[in-house]
Structure 1
Amino acid sequence: MSNKTFTEKEIEILTRNPYVKSVSSKGITYTDEFKHIFIVENEKGKLPREIFTEYGFDINMIGIERVRSSGKRWRAAYKNNGVAGLQDTRKENSGRPSEKELSLEEKYTRLEAQNHLLKAENELLKKLKNDGEEVAEKEIKLMASQKFLLINEIIKKHKLKNKVGYLCSLAGVSRSGYYNYFTLESQERKKQQEKRDEEIRDIILKAFHFKRRKKGARQIKMTLEGQFSVTYNLKRIRRIMKKYNIICSIRKANPYRRMMKATRDHTVVPNILNREFKQYVPGKVLLTDITYLFYGNGKKAYLSTIKDGSTNEVLAYNVSSSLALALATDTIKKLKKNRRVKLAKDAFIHSDQGVHYTSPEFQALLKKYKLGQSMSRRGNCWDNAPQESFFGHFKDEAYIKPCETLEELKKEIKQYMIYYNNYRYQWDLKKMTPVQYRNHLLNIV
């Protein structure tokens, strides 16, 4: 007898084998059926190792010594007592009474179970006969797979999980075949699911890389619907992204440092916006700010933008290697030159209290163009949150660092602005792009 002991995982695996009656950490109890099969196969010349392997046992798990000793014991029992010697008689010889006194409730439960078994037996035979009539009137020639499905249906209907062997013998199929069929069916379902997931993954990747801009789950969902006419549940998209490690970097807090304090000549104006960013009037609330851009080998540039608070559309922008006042004033001039931008009658610019926006030259330019002005409270970034948010998304999605020259940087920024306004769907804009949402607001006015 082998001294090998089984782990909990090994016990679980061995228990699944239909030719195992029970398993403990120290030994295995095989079914009488398997002992008989072993003797028949062994007499044909097969080695114990071959027989055990053929019937689903892992020799490395069981141990070759245990296999040899079991075979030797069964051959001796068969030689001395025939088939009867292979039967497990431990329960009969245990000294315990074979029957115990049952209560009325237990007797009723047993009778009910027997009644279910009889019903199941009749139902199975009836179905087998009816389904086999087209093939032959006297002989049932259903495929084994059909019989397995019928047995499974009967077991579920009458709750007879412990009668699998009996129903299999009644239908003329093996118990092991029944279990193998549903194991293979489960594996086939998994293969089909894997194939479907791979197809969905390929479609999601098209949206993920659309216009060379990486996207999160919500962006992917909206891009699929807007550009590919494909609708997937948001949970499914997130599951596929997690499964195939499709990662979009999480936007980090904006590291932009506030500019130097305004001089005495500079004027701070009141906050007339009060965070009412969405006023549903295109060209009314204009948000502006400046951010740093690091590119190439330690090079630095600056980006100034003007963003529509109602539609999130970038109306004008300016890129420069200098932080001079012209960075902000030129952005205002570009806004006025943009013929596609139609400003509302009471339009105003909202910014932080940076030195550019408090300067007399900047404020004079706004008055010249008949634009109002509003400023955030000191040190309160939430008063201009949509603009700060835009810079965060921009730095995550635009390819800034690979640019080697200022011209390359400007070209990349231009491409991103086109993408952002026309192709980047946004959840809070009814899943539209900024341009689509602007047209939507203009149509409902």
Structure 2
Amino acid sequence: MKKRDFLKSTAALGLTAMLPSSVWALSKNGRLRTAHIGVGNMGGNDLAAISSHELVDVVALCDVDSKALQTAKELHPKAATYKDYRVMLKEMKNDIDAVIVSTPDHTHAPASMMAMDLGKPVYCQKPLTHHVAEARAMRKMAKEKNLVTQMGIQVHSFYDYKLATLLIQSGIIGKVHTVRAWSPKNWGFNGPEPKGSDPVPANLDWNLWLGTSAERPYKEGYYHPANWRKLLDYGCGTLGDMGVHIFDTPYNALQLDVPMTIKNKCRKPTGFGFPENNTVTYTFPGTKYTGDTLKWVWYDGPGAPKKHKDLKLPNNEELPGQGAMFIGEKGRLLLPHFMQLPRHIVDGEYKELDLSIIKDQEAIGEPVRDYGPEGNKHYHQFVDACLGKDECSAPFDYSARLTETILLGVIAGRFPNKTLHWDTNTAQFSEPEANKFLDAPYRDF
């Protein structure tokens, strides 16, 4: 089925009668029955965090890797197991209340859209989708079906990030005109596409791992279980991995929408892997927290970020390994990634954080430096929202726009050093050659 046809058919089902989100998810006994698509690596972490909620019953597990599935089954022996999420959702649609999607990026939208089609709340790992068209479709369906949704950006619920948001919105550095963000991680690959094929491991269903993506021979060490993030067909590079986390707080604090222009300074495209080093410059329309426009520069890969006066720290200190710098009319705010307090800089000197400028003092919360309880907050918020006890802070209405922004930068990597112009109303670039990367056909599998 072509992706466009898939998205149209599932979106049409969103016009059914709407009920409050909690009604869709609430079990008769006041507990939440969850189904997990992808239970290895990050999926295993998601499973542990969701199941740590006292009102969760894990009833279904799905993974294309039988070893990962067996490990999860040992932890949840009562759960039914599947290797094909389509079979699981079809057979257990009346026995599950919410779905957690923790697969490689290219399967996020197909699995999430099918679950939402059944009226199920969805927690989906970041980035929300692999293509811009999918992000818009998921946002549309979640809204039309009135579903509880959450994207897996756990730090969104951490103290330091919420504090930075409140400080910026309280005017600690005035209106912000520039954000610079960085990660030296290298989810890029500058080498050639591998030739030939290797035997598929006995524990892996390669056809199901590929899913809707184009058919390709298996090569050991290139795809499953880890390196898929580096490759165009499956991941979104460093920008799609760490960028979502590090973009999130400035994007949320400044109440940004999608950008007007995007330019990626990187190597020429190879058609297989993402560039190892990217410098992506965005221009956003202004908000009440910014100037008339906002400039955003993202650096990734070995050696990132490049030196710039905006990033110079007092006492010639080194920058944190990853983070973001807000540059405003009255100073700068440094937000390290992660679990470190933001730092206020004025005239080249650190200033003590003045929390009294925050009007809603109850919103500040208490600083926590234990990743365990902090990490579970975002997941538990989703569970509680499904049970009608809370609201999600990163629903698809928000996270789809954040993901779209990220993906526009990824697409710009196909056109090095060329400024692309984005029209949010038509969801098209002014440069027609770039529009073919907004979507891709789905393979029948």
Q: Higher helix proportion, which one?
A: 1
Q: TM-score range by the shorter chain?
A: under 0.3
Structure of higher RCO (CA pairs closer than 8 Å, 6+ residues apart): 2
